Structure formats: C-alpha cells, structure tokens
C-alpha cells in the first residue's frame, strides 16, 4: 500500500538539477592528467608551454583592445582617470597596472586608481568571499566618484564575479566608459561592458587555477591597453620612454641614456640638459634637439600638449 502522504510518481515535481558550469576556465584540462606524476623538468616545461595560450588569446583580442583604447582616449584627453576593478588575481593585476603608470610614464597617481574586492588587505591576503558581494562592488566604485571622462577597466577571469559586475553597473550609471576583460565568452561582464575584451584562454593546466594563463593573458592585455594609451597621450617619443620618473640610480642612468640616444648628444651635454630640465627626459631632449633653453622647450611642449614629436615640428 502506498503512503497517502506521498504523491504519485507522475505528479511529483521534476528535480531542478544545477547545469554544469559553462565557463571554459573551470573545465578540466584534457592534457597532462598525470601532471602530479611528471618529473620536475617535464612539469616545468608543461606549465611554461601552457602559457603560450595566454599570448595567443591576447593576440586574438588585439582588435578589441584597439577599439577600447580608441574609446578611452576621448575621456582621458579631457583629464579623465583610469579606474580598475577586480577581485583576487584579477584585482591584484589591476592594482599592479595602476601602480606602474606613474613611475613609467609620469602619469598622475590620482588618475590611475584601482579598487579590489575586500579592500587594501586583499592585495596581500586572500579574501575570496568578498567577490560575491555585488552591492559592495557598486559602493566601492561609487566611492571613487566616477564621471563621464573616466574609464573603468573591469577584470574578471570568470566574467561572472558579482563584485565586479556591481562596480561595472555603478560606472555605467555614472556615464563612465566601461572596458570589460574576461576569459570566458558569453559572460555577463562582456555583455554589460561598453568595450568587451575576450581573452579566451580555455581550461587551465591546473584545472580552475586562473592565476595561470588566464592571469597571464590579463596582464598582457592590461600592459597592452595602458601602454597604447600612454603612447597616444604623448608619453613616448619614437619608442623612447621619455616621461619616466627617475627616482633611483638605475632610472637616472636610464634617463641619461634616453636623452643621449634621442638627442644624439654626448654624455656631458645630456647631463647638463637633464640638470637644467630638473631630470625631465622629454624637456631635456627637446631643448637639445632644437638648441633652445629649457624654458623655451617647456613652452613648446605645453603648446603641443606634451607631445615631443609635435613640439619638435616632426608632425
């Protein structure tokens, strides 16, 4: 006899099974299923070789990165900021990119601002649960007072991180241009961003560990994007890093070499020009190339919005 409290089999609701994770970065890598049994040389070779997928993904994304850079330049030329948002490895890579722009290109620190899920502590200590708080991502981004000339670079390997999606939503609400970097196709981050950039790296060799080639692809993409922006903003002459901040002996020597090379000057002349220019490579270079005092070189650079080639009359 059947239990009267138990409905007939045909009338019971069908169990709702959770669909398998669609994200390729979470899939099990089909190669090297015996990774833990490899001899150390073979293990290192396998891990290094798998990183080639990061380079391939970044190269495939080059057209998307170019479109993102073109869109970002409009606001940055009006004084906008580069804002970064990410969680975990992606967040730390955003912090790294923002941190490297001031010494490399003399980009103002106030115009390269990164936020990470979990706050400053998360840079050095894992705070994985913070990435699930979408409302916190929105609040953290709004605390930066984003505006229409700013650019948000939102990074998430999964493309589904709630905290990052919250930050992106806040940016869009402030009419801030949004660039989304994700390692999985068809994800909410790419769908919501003004400029989506897919870094399709597929499964990780250590399955699910997106600090590997997914993270490498993000680093390449961030390097490429921010460097392209700095070149277009006049921070580079030819391929010389003429806006570096010489803050130690190594960089002072580098600044001297750049002036010597860019101006075709001997060491003594380059040193004198750098001294007169207060250590500013671009200013010293223009002064030497045109044979004018530093003050006149500065005036010409101001007229050229900081572009050395334009100040030199080469455009």
The answer to whether residue 134 is catalytic is no
Q: Would the CA dihedral through 30, 31, 37, 40 be positive or negative? A: negative
Residue 256 structure tokens: 């001297």
Please write down the HEC assignment for all residues of the chain. CCCCCCCCHHHCCCCCCCCCCCCHHHCCCCCCCCHHHCCHHHHHHHHHHHCHHHHHHHHHCHHHHHHHHHHHHHHHCCCCCEEEEECHHHHHHHHHHHHHHHHHHCCCHHHEEEEECCCHHHHCCCCHHHHHCHHHHHHHHHCCCCCCCCEEEEEECCCCCHHHHHHHHHHHHCCCEEEEEECCCCCHHHHHCCEEEECCCCCCCCCCCCCCHHHHHHHHHHHHHHHHHHHHCCCCECCECCCCCCCCHHHHHHHHHHHHHHHCCCHHHHHHHHHHCCCCHHHHHHHHHHCCCHHHHHHHHHHCCCCHHHHCCCC
Q: Domains in the chain, ordered, with CATH?
A: 50-232 (3.40.50.10490), 249-311 (1.10.8.1080)
pLDDT for the residue numbered 21: 59
Beta bridge pairs of residue 197: 181
Determine contact, residues 285/258, Cβ cutoff 8 Å.
Answer: yes
Pairing of strands 151-156, 112-116: unpaired
Residue 242 structure tokens: 């003429």
Please give the C-alpha separations between residue 74 and each of 68, 87, 101, 170, in angstroms, as whole numbers: 11, 27, 19, 20
Whole-number Å distance between alpha carbons of 216 and 209: 12
Whole-number Å distance between alpha carbons of 223 and 25: 22
Please give the C-alpha separations between residue 124 and each of 84, 86, 217, 278, in angstroms, as whole numbers: 17, 14, 21, 36
Q: Which residues contact 136 (CB under 8 A, 6 or more apart)?
A: 117, 130, 163, 166
Catalytic residue among 9, 100, 267, 314: 100
pLDDT for the residue numbered 245: 82
pLDDT tens sequence for the chain (315 residues): 444 444 444 333 433 443 445 788 888 898 889 999 999 999 999 999 999 999 999 999 999 999 999 999 999 999 999 999 999 999 999 999 999 999 999 999 999 999 999 988 888 887 778 888 999 999 999 999 999 999 999 999 999 999 999 999 999 999 999 999 999 999 999 999 999 999 999 999 999 899 999 999 999 999 999 999 999 999 999 999 999 888 889 999 999 999 999 999 999 999 999 999 999 999 999 999 999 999 999 999 999 999 999 999 997
Global pTM reads 0.89
The answer to whether residue 131 is catalytic is yes
Residue for token pair 């993000």: 218
Whole-number Å distance between alpha carbons of 41 and 38: 8
Catalytic residue among 131, 138, 296, 314: 131
Determine contact, residues 228/100, Cβ cutoff 8 Å.
Answer: no
Neighbours of 180 (CB within 10 A): 28
- Pick from 289, 282, 290, 273: nearest CA to 307: 282
Determine contact, residues 109/183, Cβ cutoff 8 Å.
Answer: no
């Amino acid at each position: 006899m059947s239990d009267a409290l138990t409905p007939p089999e045909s009338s019971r609701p069908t169990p709702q099974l959770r669909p398998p994770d669609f994200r390729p970065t979470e899939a099990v890598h089909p190669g090297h299923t015996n990774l833990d049994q490899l001899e150390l040389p073979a293990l290192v070779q396998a891990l290094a070789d798998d990183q080639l997928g990061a380079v391939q993904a970044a190269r495939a994304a080059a057209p998307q990165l170019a479109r993102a850079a073109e869109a970002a330049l409009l606001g940055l030329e009006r004084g906008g900021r580069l804002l970064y948002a990410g969680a975990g490895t992606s967040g730390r890579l955003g912090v790294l990119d923002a941190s490297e722009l001031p010494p490399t290109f003399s980009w103002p620190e106030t115009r390269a601002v990164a936020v990470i899920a979990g706050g400053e502590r998360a840079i050095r200590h894992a705070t994985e649960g913070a990435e699930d708080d979408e409302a916190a991502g929105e609040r953290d981004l709004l605390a930066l007072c984003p505006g229409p000339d700013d650019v948000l670079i939102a990074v998430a390997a999964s493309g589904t991180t709630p905290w990052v999606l919250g930050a992106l939503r806040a940016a869009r609400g402030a009419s801030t241009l949004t660039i989304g970097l994700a390692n999985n196709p068809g994800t909410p981050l790419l769908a919501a961003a003004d400029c989506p950039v897919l870094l399709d790296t597929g499964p990780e060799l250590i399955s699910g560990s997106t600090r590997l080639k997914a993270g490498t692809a993000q680093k390449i993409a961030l390097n490429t994007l921010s460097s392209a922006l700095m070149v277009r903003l006049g921070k580079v002459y030819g391929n010389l890093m003429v806006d570096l901040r010489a803050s130690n002996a190594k960089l002072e020597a580098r600044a001297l070499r750049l002036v010597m090379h860019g101006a075709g000057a001997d060491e003594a002349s380059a040193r004198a020009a750098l001294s007169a220019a207060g250590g500013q490579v671009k200013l010293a270079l223009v002064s030497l190339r045109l044979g004018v005092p530093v003050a006149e070189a500065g005036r010409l650079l101001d007229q050229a919005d900081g572009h050395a080639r334009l100040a030199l009359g080469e455009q």
